[in-house]
Chain A
Amino acid sequence: MTKESIIVCSNSGCLSSGGVDVFITLFTEIFSNPQLNEKYEVKKGGCHGFCEVGPTVIVGNERIFYIKIDSNKAKDIVNEHLLGGKIIEKFLYFDVINKKRIFRYDEVVFINRQERLLLKSSPFTDPESFDDYIKSGGFKALEKVLDTMDQFQVCDTILKSGLRGRGGGGFYTGKKWRLLAEQIAQPKYVICNGDEGDPGTFMDKYLLEGDPFRILEGLLIAGYATMSNFGIVYLRKEYDLAAKRVENAIKILYEKGYIGQSVMGRAFAFDIRLEYGPGAYISGEETALFASIESKRGNPSVKPPFPVEKGLFNGPTLVNNVETFANIRDIIDLGVEDYCKFGTSDSKGTKIFTLSGSIRNSGLIEMPFGTNFDSVINDIGGGMLKVSKLKAIQVGGASGSIIPASMINEEISFENFNKIDASLGAGGIVVLDEYTCIIEMAKYYVDFSREESCGFCVPCREGTQKLYKILDRIIEGKGTLDDIEKIKILSNVMYETSMCGLGREAINPVMSLLKYFNDELIEHIVDKKCRAGVCPNLVRYTIVADDCIGCGACKINCPIDAISGIQGQYHTIDKEACIKCGQCFKVCPKDAILRS
C-alpha cells in the first residue's frame, strides 16, 4: 500500500515563518508512532505560491490544506486529525469573500483560479528528491529529445512553440537556440540566468528552490539542441536555499548519469556547474554576467558582437532566464500544438507573476498570456488589502512601468504591452494603493538604478543622479514647472545614449509618471500638496477636537510617541516631533485626523 503523504511547504517564504519546526515536529511525531508511520509519510514540497499563509501543511490524498501552522498546531494535527480522524476547522483557510472555511487545497480560490503548467506538480514534489521528480514525469522530455530528434529539430520545435524569453526582452527562444547551434566555434556555453535582482520579483528564486530538476532538464535540452557541452547555472549569492537545492540536484544528476561524459548513456556529453553572482544588479545583463564569471568588474560591453557569436571567454554563448528553461520540458512533453493552446497569438504559454504589495493574497501565480490585471488582482489576489482603493500597478521592477488603475482591463501579453508602451520585465506585479505617492515611487526606482549603475557610461551614471535630485527637489516642495521639461530632456538623452539596458530602462518609471500621473506631479509642484500624504514636507496632521473620542488608537500606533492625551479626552499631536508617517490617520476609527 502506498503511503498517504503529508506535505510541508519548504520554500524560503514558509521556512522563514517557522516551516522548519513544523517539519521536524510532524516528522518525529509520525515516525515515533508505528500506526501512523505505516499510513503516512512526511515530506517536503516545492512552492505552492501562496506564501502569504505559510507555513502550510497538505494532508493526505484529499489534500486538506492547513495554513499558518506552528509546532504546537502540528501536534494538534497529529492528535486530532491523523489519530482522531477529525479535520481541525480553525486551522483551515478562511475565504473572507465567500465567508466560509475551505477544506481542500484545490478549492482555494487563489489556487484554482490559476491555470498552472510550470507550477502544477511542484507543490507535491520534493525539491530534493530525484525519485519524486521522475515520478512526476521528469526527464521524459530529455529522453524523447535524445532519442527521436536531431539538434535542429529541437530548435525548430521551440521556435514553433512561440516561446519568448521570460527575462524581459521577449526574444524568440527558438531563434536564439538556432543561432547558437549554427555557430562552429567550440566550446559553446549555455547559461541559465538566475541573477534575479529586480525589487518585487521572486519567481526565479522559487522555481529554483521548488523545482530545480526541471530547470536542469531544460538546460540539458538546450545544451543538446545547441551542440554545446557546458552548462552554467548563474545564481545570486543571496539566494542560499536555491543554491543549496541546485547544488544538490547537480550532484544527484552526476551520480545517476544524467550529466557527465554520456548523458543518459547516449552520445552527448554535458557538464553543469553552479556560479555565484557576487551581488550586483547589473550582472543580470548578459555581457556583465560574463564579466563577473571571468572575474572582472561587472561592466557591460557594447553589442554587437552578440553573445551567440562572442560571449563567455569569447566562446558562443546562450543566456536564457530560469523561467524560460522551465518551459522547455512542457513544450516537449505536451507537443507544440497543445502548448500553443495557452496564450495569445504572439505570446504563447503561461507566465509566472509575483504578486505583492497592498493586496490580500500575495505570492506566486501562473496564468496564460492574454489574461488581464483585473483577474490577477481581483480574482486571484482577492482584491485590495483593508479598505484602500487601487491606485496603480507596478509591473516589472526597476525597469518596468507604473500603470494607473484605469488600465486594469489591459491584456497581459508581449504585443499589448508593446502597444501601450509598457514593459513586462520579469513579471513582478506590485499593487499600489491610495496611500502611495507615485512621485515618491519614481524616486525610489531612480534611486535603485542610481545605486546599481555600474558607473561605466556617463548618461546612466550622471543621468540617474540628476533625475534623483530633481525628483527629490519636487518631493521636498521646492520643485518648479521647468523641472518637468528637464526630466523629459534628461530621460531622452539617457534612452538614446546609454550603453546597456539599465540606463535605457531606468527612465521607465519616470516616463509612466509623466504619462499617467501628470496631474499629481503638477499638484506637488504648484499646490505643494501630496494627495497620498507620503511626502513629509507637503503634509501636516492635526486632530479635530470635536470628532476625537479619545480612544487612544493613534497614541498606541504612533511610532515615536508624538501623540499625547488621556483616555476618553481628545488627543493632540506634537507638530515638532511628528515624523508624518500617517499611521494615526490610517488607524483612527472616527476619521478625526485631518491631513492637509
Chain B
Amino acid sequence: MDTINRNNKLEILFRKYPSPQKSDLGKILSDAQNEFGYLSEEVLKKVATYVGVSATETYGFASFYSMYNLEKPGKYVIKICKGTACHIKSASRIISEIENSLGIKAGETTKDGLFKFEVSSCLGICALSPVIMINDKIYSRVNSKIVKSLIDELKSEEGIND
C-alpha cells in the first residue's frame, strides 16, 4: 500500500517537470523531500531514473549537501548554532549537555524517532547568542539549564519519563 501511495505521489510530483534537465535534479529532490520528509533509497532511485542520472551520482549529490535528509528525521529537530559568537558563549558545553540528555550524538536521531539533533555552522542570529532552534522556533540567549528544561518539557509531552 505504502509503495503504491509513494509512487503515486512521485508521479504527481514529476508532472511539474515534464522534460527534466539534469539541472532539475536538485529541485525535484527538494520537492520530494518536502513531500516525504526525507529521501529514502527508493525515492532517490526513482528520481534518478526519471531525471536520467545514475543512482550513484544522485546519492553523491544528495549526501554532499546538508539540506537533504537521507534518513527519517525525528518529530522534533533540535538544531544548535555553533557559530563563533555562540562558540565563545559555551555552545560546545550545551552541545554535550543535549547529547547526554538525549543519549545521541550530533547528526543522529533517537531510536524512538522523536528527536533529531543537528549542529549548524551559523544561524545568523549572533547578536543573541547562544541560539538553538527546535523545529522552526528559535530560542535565543539559552544556557544549558534552559535547554535541558526545554527538552524535558518535550519529553513529558510525549510521555517519556527518565
Interface residues of A in 218-276 (CB under 8 A from B): 237-240, 276
Known: A280-B65, A297-B60, A298-B64. A239 touches B124 (CB 8 A): yes
Specify which chain A residues have a CB less than 8 angstroms from the CB of B123 in the assembled complex.
238
Residues on the A chain within 8 Å of B26, using CB: 278, 292-293, 295
Please state if A294 and B23 are interface contacts (CB–CB under 8 Å).
yes
Chain B residues near A13: list those with CB within 8 A. Answer: 125, 127-128, 140
A278 and B67 contacting across the interface, CB-CB below 8 Å = yes
Tally of A interface residues using CB under 8 Å = 57
Once the chains bind, are A559 and B144 in contact (CB under 8 Å)?
Answer: yes
A551 within 8 A of B: no
Contact sample, A vs B, 28 pairs, CB 8 Å cutoff? A12-B124, A17-B128, A198-B122, A199-B122, A202-B125, A240-B136, A276-B30, A278-B30, A278-B65, A278-B68, A279-B67, A292-B26, A295-B25, A295-B26, A295-B61, A297-B60, A298-B64, A356-B84, A356-B126, A357-B88, A362-B127, A397-B84, A428-B84, A428-B126, A432-B88, A436-B88, A448-B121, A579-B93
If A16-B138, A240-B136 touch, does A559 touch B122 (CB 8 Å cutoff)?
Answer: no
Q: Is A197 an interface residue (CB 8 A)?
A: yes
- Proximity string of chain A (192-204) to chain B, C-beta cutoff 8 Å, 1 when within and 0 when not: 0000111111100
Q: Complex: how many Å from CA A52 to CA B127?
A: 6
Interface residues of B in 116-145 (CB under 8 A from A): 120-129, 131, 136, 138-140, 144-145
Tell me if A394 and B66 are in contact (CB < 8 A).
no
* CB of B111 closer than 8 Å to a CB of A: no
Give bound CA distance, A199 to B83, whole Å: 4
Q: A17-B140, A278-B30, A292-B65 are in contact. Are A202 and B124 (CB under 8 A)?
A: yes
Measured CB to CB, the nearest residue on chain B to A280 is B65
A559 and B84: CB pair below 8 A?
no
What 6 A-B pairs are tightest by C-beta distance, nearest first? A278-B65, A16-B138, A199-B83, A51-B127, A279-B66, A200-B84
Closest Cβ neighbor of B86 among chain A residues: A199
Q: Name the interface residues of B81-95: CB closer than 8 Å to any CB of A.
A: 82-85, 87-88, 90, 93
Interface residue B152 (Cβ < 8 Å from any Cβ of A): no
- For B61, give the chain A residue with the smallest CB separation: A297
Separation of A52 and B126 alpha carbons in the complex (Å): 9
In contact, B122 and A197 (Cβ under 8 angstroms): yes
Quick check: is A459 within 8 A (CB to CB) of the other chain? no
Task: A559 to B90: give the CA distance in the assembly, Å.
Answer: 12
Which of B83, B87, B88, B128 counts the most chain A CB atoms within 10 A?
B88
* Majority DSSP secondary structure for residues of A touching B: mixed
User: Does B67 contact A237, Cβ atoms closer than 8 Å?
Assistant: yes
Q: How distant is the Cα of A296 from the Cα of B57 in the complex, in angstroms?
A: 8
Q: Is the CB–CB distance between A279 and B138 below 8 Å?
A: no
Q: How far is the CB of B151 from chain A (nearest CB, A)?
A: 15
Asked if A122 CB lies within 8 Å of chain B CBs, one says no
Chain A residues with CB under 8 Å of B85's CB are: 199-200, 356-357, 362, 430
A478–B138 Cα distance when bound, in Å, is 40
Q: In the assembled complex, which residues on chain B have CB atoms less than 8 Å from the CB atom of A44?
A: none
Q: Which of B64, B90, B144 contacts A280 (CB 8 A)?
A: B64
Measured between alpha carbons, how far is A305 from B66 in the docked complex, in Å? 29
- Which residues of B are found within 8 Å of A200, using beta-carbon distances? 83-85, 122, 126
- With A and B bound together, what is the CA distance between A397 and B121 in angstroms? 11
Q: How far is the CA of A454 from the CA of B83 in the complex (A)?
A: 19
Contact, CB under 8 Å: B136 / A199: no
Among residues of B, the one whose C-beta sits closest to the C-beta of A240 is B136
Q: Does B24 contact A (CB under 8 A)?
A: yes
The verdict on A581 contacting B128 (CB below 8 Å), with A199-B82, A240-B136, A295-B25 known, is no
Instruction: Tell yes or no: A363 within 8 A of B by CB.
Output: yes
Cα A294 to Cα B53 in complex, Å, equals: 13
Between B82, B87, B90, B93, the greatest number of chain A beta carbons within 10 A of the residue's beta carbon is seen for: B87
A354 within 8 A of B: yes
Alpha-carbon distance A313/B24, docked complex (angstroms): 13
When each residue 435-452 of chain A gets 1 if its CB lies under 8 Å from chain B and 0 otherwise, what string results?
Answer: 010000100100010011
Q: In the complex, what distance in Å separates the CA atom of A298 from the CA atom of B60? A: 10
Contact A279 to B65, CB < 8 A, known contacts A199-B82, A199-B87: yes
- Cβ of A161 under 8 Å from chain B: no
- Interface assignment of A464: CB less than 8 Å from any CB of chain B: no
For the complex, what is the distance from the CA of A313 to the CA of B21, rounded to whole Å?
12
Contact partner of B61 among A51, A239, A296, A363, CB < 8 A? Answer: A296
**Beyond A199-B82, A298-B64, 13 extra complex contacts between A and B, CB < 8 Å:** A17-B140, A196-B124, A200-B83, A200-B126, A202-B127, A240-B136, A278-B65, A281-B121, A293-B23, A294-B22, A356-B129, A448-B121, A451-B121
* Interface check A205, CB cutoff 8 A: yes
B161 to chain A, nearest CB (A): 21
For the complex formed, measure the closest distance between the CB of A92 and the CB atoms of chain B, giving whole angstroms. 20
In the docked arrangement, what's the CA distance between A12 and B122, Å? 14
| Closest residue of B by beta carbon distance from A282 | B64
A358 interface residue per 8 A CB criterion: yes
Q: Which partner residue on chain B sits nearest A299 by CB separation?
A: B64
**Is A581's CB under 8 angstroms from B64's CB?**
no
> Measured between alpha carbons, how far is A250 from B60 in the docked complex, in Å?
32
CA distance A137 to B83 in the complex (A): 36
Within 8 A of A (CB), among B9-53: 22-27, 30
State whether the Cβ of B97 lies closer than 8 Å to any Cβ in chain A: yes
Q: How far is the CA of A51 from the CA of B85 in the complex (A)?
A: 14
Collect the chain B residues with CB atoms within 8 Å of residue A202's CB. Answer: 122, 124-127
**How far does the Cβ of B60 sit from chain A's closest Cβ, in whole Å?**
6
> Which chain A residues lie closer than 8 Å to B145 at the CB level?
559
A452 near B90: Cβ-Cβ < 8 Å: no
Q: Which chain B residues lie closer than 8 Å to A17 at the CB level?
A: 128, 140
B131 partner residues in chain A, CB cutoff 8 A: 16
Q: Are A280 and B66 in touch, CB under 8 angstroms?
A: yes
The residues of B that contact A279 with a CB separation of less than 8 Å are 65-67
Residues of B within 8 Å of A293, CB to CB, are: 23, 26
B121, A452: Cβ atoms closer than 8 Å: yes
Q: Is A444 a contact partner of B25 (Cβ separation < 8 A)?
A: no
Closest chain A residue to B28, Cβ basis: A295
Kindly state the separation between the CA atoms of A4 and B121 in the bound complex, as whole angstroms.
41
Interface centre among B26, B30, B88, B124 (most CB of A within 10 A): B124
For A196, list chain B residues within 8 Å (CB). 124
Which of B24, B64, B136 lies in contact with A297, CB distance below 8 A? B64
Known contacts A293-B23, A452-B121: A444-B84 contact under CB 8 Å: yes
**Nearest A residue to B143 by beta-carbon distance?**
A559
Q: Do A354 and B30 touch (CB < 8 A)?
A: no
Instruction: Establish whether residues A16 and B140, one from each chain, have CB atoms under 8 Å apart when the complex forms.
Output: yes
CA distance A444 to B123 in the complex (A): 17
A298 to B68 CA separation, bound complex (whole angstroms)? 14
A357 touches B84 (CB 8 A): yes
| Contact string against B for A residues 207-224, beta-carbon threshold 8 Å, 1 for contact and 0 otherwise | 000000000000000000
In the assembled complex, the CB of B76 is this many whole angstroms from the nearest CB of chain A, namely 17
